[in-house]
Amino acid sequence: MKKFIVFLCIIGFPLNVFAYSDRVYLGGNTVGINIKSEGIMVIGFYNINGSKPKTSLKEGDIIVKVGNTKVNTTSELTKAIEDNLEDNKVNITYKRGKKEDTTDIILENVGGIYKTGLYVKDSITGIGTVSFIDGDTYGCLGHEVIESNTSKMIEVKSGSIFENSISSIEMSKDGSPGSKNAKFYYQNTYGDITKNTKYGIYGSWYSNVDEKRLIDVGKPSQVELGDATIYTVLNGEDIEEFTIKITKINLNSDIKNITFEITDERLLKETGGIVQGMSGSPIVQNGKLIGAVTHVVTDNVKTGYGIFITTMLEESDKD
């Protein structure tokens, strides 16, 4: 059955050695995530007077300038369009992948209001779980943050992780993963976000840590088939431990290194399986932190994937 996954010495050449810690603080904390993008992302289009907008922009393009004015927020974009509008059009500088280009947008005057036909976004907010804290840095999620409409990775201009409290759970069902719902407390910041990568988000950790949560790091060679546990939050901010069974180990995958199924009856009763917001939940086996939850298998929501924690620690160590 096909599985569908949502969103877990050469002489003469430089050798990068990442000396990650062999002991870190265990995560499991639920956090709110806010990332402000580098530029403004085009996430869709709407018709004006029944016609598509006159532009060569595509979903996922990043608007960085209007005329000669740099823009990073939707309010800056609106003002720059107003200031640079001439003959019902403006010149836009945008990025598509690594390439930068320019194009004109033709605006339509509808009842005295100029419309672009563009849906845009300058930030993204969500829920995740901290995997580890290592001194004054942390790792979270185990996979990249993407914009849901375009499935494009968000380039970080700035960002923060902050306090949240889980208020309810939408149950997972086969074919339809559920999610955690949370109250956000933006003013209580735990850290910043400096990197959004395929292996998770990373940054500086500002908050206190519980010295009792110090744990040894397990290497991939120490991961075994069989019983393990995950740490995550189902209610409020209480970190709880739940049982899983590791059914497969893949040493060759970038991210989907650990295949597991939930065996904890209470977790299954309260969530139905893996839910969105669990990404980053640490996986512990034989007293060592070995990985983090990254994905749910949508046609069997009791099953999921995890990334080796050493991959996240190596990514955290990179500039």
Active site residues: 143, 264, 279
Residue linked to tokens 């006159």? 54
Number of C-alpha atoms within 13 angstroms, CB side, residue 258?
Answer: 36
272 Cα distance to chain centroid: 22
206 conformational bin, left if phi > 0, alpha if psi -120 to 50, beta if neither: alpha
